[in-house]
Amino acid sequence: MDLYSGHINKLIEELAALPGIGSKSAQRLAFHLINMPQDKVKRLTEAIQEAKANVRYCRECFTLTDSDICPVCANRNRNHRMIMVVENTRDLAAYEKTGRYEGVYHVLHGAISPMLGIGPGDIKLKELIERLKGDVEEVIIATNSSLEGETTAMYISKMIKPTGIRVTRIASGVPVGGDLEYIDEVTLLRALEGRVEL
């Protein structure tokens, strides 16, 4: 038996289909939306529709933007000879929050995963190789340290090395506040190999 009417159930179903939203969160959001003033609901609806209609890929780095070129690629003060390769726009945003990286990015929109049927042709690798025909000195591979991320990093490295362009991989290791006894061996090895002088 359904607890709620058809419209409420439909709203809960649609919200629960969003990534990271479980059924309880979907219920809370649904009731929050229903109780919002009509003008706020209208603004939210318009914001979603406008974003869907106007957001596209940057023609250089393939991050999401509402312009032809994103603000990072358009910034002439950035080092356009250094490209950091990330899996998605959220990863780009995480690096931008540090305020320390001065190069540009390339967003793959995924990682190679044979188990999921995602091959090199399914992510933005061809576009990356096209960008490397310009004046590029270094490619920093910043994919996740998952099996898929590591596979993608190795594939990119093998593609780029013959060009003579410097290829580096971000270091990964022990998180701040992490206890060494709970860290896996691969992470500990990475932390050791990526060590810096104090």
Structural domain count, the chain: 1
The per-residue pLDDT for range 133-175, each reduced to its tens digit, is 989 999 999 888 888 988 999 999 999 999 999 999 887 776 6
The per-residue pLDDT for range 94-123, each reduced to its tens digit, is 888 888 889 999 999 999 998 889 999 999
pLDDT above 50 for 1:
no
Q: Does residue 25 sit within a domain?
A: no
Concatenating the DSSP letter of every residue in the chain gives --SS-HHHHHHHHHHHTSTT--HHHHHHHHHHHHHS-HHHHHHHHHHHHHHHHH-EE-TTT--EESSSS-HHHH-TTSEEEEEEEESSHHHHHHHHHHS---EEEEE-SS--BGGGTB-GGGTTHHHHHHHTTSS--EEEE---SSHHHHHHHHHHHHHHGGGT-EEEE----PPTT--GGGS-HHHHHHHHHT----
Q: Does residue 102 sit within a domain?
A: yes
pLDDT above 70 for 42:
yes
Q: Does residue 29 sit within a domain?
A: no
- The CATH code of the domain that includes 94 is 3.40.1360.10
pLDDT above 50 for 198:
no
Q: Does residue 30 sit within a domain?
A: no
Q: Does residue 179 sit within a domain?
A: no
Q: Does residue 90 sit within a domain?
A: yes
pLDDT above 70 for 197:
no
Structural domain span for residue 90: 77-170
Q: Does residue 86 sit within a domain?
A: yes
